[in-house]
Amino acid sequence: MTRGKRIQSTAQLEVRLLREGITESVHSAQAMICDDRGRILLCAGNAEAATFARSVLKPFQALAVTTTGTLERFSLTDRDLAIVCSSHKGTIEQVRQVFNILWRADIEPTALQCPTPEGKKSPLQYNCSGKHAGMLAVCQQRGFPLTSYLQYNHPIQQLILGKIAELLQIPAEEFIPARDDCGAPTYYMPLRQLAWLYAQLASGNSLDMERVSRAMTHHPTMVAGDGEFDTELMRLTEGEIISKSGAEGVQCMGRVGEGVGLAIKVTDGAKRAKYAIAIHILQQMGWITPSVAETLSETYITLGRYKRLDVTGELSML
C-alpha cells in the first residue's frame, strides 16, 4: 500500500479504562495528520498502518451525487446531501430525509439493498440508507441499472472509485475492495490516505467537496444524531471541524478552511477508545476550546460514576 521508501514509526497512543483509578482494560491506536497535498504532518504509532475505510468513506462516495448533476436534477438540498454522508440512528426525521431523496428521484424504497435493522420494518431505517439512496439517485440520473448498484463493476461504484483515486492520485486498480456490512464496497486504505482525503474535504479547494463539507457541518443531526460524537462535535465547534465515524475503531476529522485532516484507527476496534483519542488529539492540536473539550469529556471520557478513560501518548513529527 505504501510505495517507495519505508516510513518510520513513532510511539502509539494508548487508552486505559480506569475503574476507581485502577487499569482494567487497555486499547492501542494509530493516528495520522496530513495536509491537503498528502504530506504527513504528525503521526502516532505505525505510519504505514492501514484499515478498511468503512463509513468514513461516505463523504467521498457522496461526490457521485455532487459531480453528476443529481442534486440539481432532483432538487436535492444540503440536508439530503448530509443524510447521504450519514451513519444515522434511524430517527423519524432521518428516515424521512432518506425517503425524500428516493421520492424526488422516483425510486421505490424497495430498491434499497441495505439490510433492514433487527426489529425494524424497513431498510430506510438502516444507518447507511442515506448512502444507498444517494447511489440510487445517481443511477436514476445517469440511466444506470438500479438492481445491481452494489456490484463492484457497476457504473456507480466505478464512478465513486474513480473520484477517490483521482483525489489520491493513484490508479483505481491499486485499491483493495471488500464488502461493508451494508453490502456496498469499501476499501482497505492506509491512514495517510484517509487523513489526506479529509484534509482535501476540509480545504475548500473544490466546490463539490466544499458543498459536502457545508452540508455535514450545517446539518450535523443528519450525519449521526443527537448524542452521537460526530453530531455533537460539529455542533459544538459550529462548523469548524468535519467529523465522521467508521466502524471498527476508525475516526476521521478535518479542520475546515485549513486543509488539514486527521485519521485514527484503534487496533482492537473499540468505539469508546477512538472518541477519547479524538478529544485528546483535538486538544493537543488546539482545534477545540477547553469548554468544548470539557463538554465532550463528560460523555466520552467519564463513563459513569466509577470509571473513566485516560489517554497517553502524543502526535509527533516523523
For the chain, domain boundaries:
13-312
Reported as type and span, the H/E element at residue 85 is: none
Residue position matching grid coordinates 466544499: 210
The pLDDT value recorded for residue 47 is 87
The rounded distance, in Å, linking the Cα atoms of 289 and 306 is 26
Name residues whose C-beta falls within 8 Å of residue 94's C-beta, 6 or more positions apart in sequence.
83, 86, 88, 130, 221, 222, 225
13-312: CATH architecture: 3-Layer(aba) Sandwich (3.40)
| In contact, 131 and 256? CB cutoff 8 Å | no
The rounded distance, in Å, linking the Cα atoms of 266 and 221 is 25
Amino acid at 302: T
| pTM: predicted TM-score of the whole model, two decimal places | 0.95
Reported as type and span, the H/E element at residue 177 is: strand 176-179
The rounded distance, in Å, linking the Cα atoms of 87 and 135 is 15
The rounded distance, in Å, linking the Cα atoms of 225 and 153 is 33
| In contact, 189 and 175? CB cutoff 8 Å | yes
Name which of 282, 261, 287, 278 is nearest 196 in CA terms: 261
Q: 185 forms bridges with which residues in the sheet?
A: 179
Q: In sequence order, what E strands does 214-305 have?
A: 241-246, 250-255, 260-266
DSSP states of 10-61: -PPEEEEEEETTEEEEEEEEEEEEEETT--EEEEES-TT-EEE-GGGGHHHH
User: What is the signed CA dihedral for 53, 55, 60, 64, rounded to 10 degrees?
Assistant: 120
| In contact, 182 and 132? CB cutoff 8 Å | yes
The rounded distance, in Å, linking the Cα atoms of 314 and 311 is 9
Mean pLDDT per 10-residue interval, the chain, length 318 residues:
54 95 97 97 94 98 98 98 98 98 98 97 98 98 98 98 98 97 98 98 94 98 97 97 98 96 97 96 96 96 95 90
The pLDDT value recorded for residue 317 is 86
Retrieve residue 15's grid coordinates.
Answer: 487508552
The pLDDT value recorded for residue 1 is 41
Number of helices and strands in the chain (H, E): 13, 10
The pLDDT value recorded for residue 6 is 54
The rounded distance, in Å, linking the Cα atoms of 231 and 243 is 8
| In contact, 248 and 55? CB cutoff 8 Å | no
The pLDDT value recorded for residue 318 is 75
Amino acid at 193: Q
The pLDDT value recorded for residue 2 is 40
Reported as type and span, the H/E element at residue 22 is: strand 22-35
At 315 the three-state DSSP class reads: coil
The rounded distance, in Å, linking the Cα atoms of 92 and 120 is 12
The pLDDT value recorded for residue 7 is 56
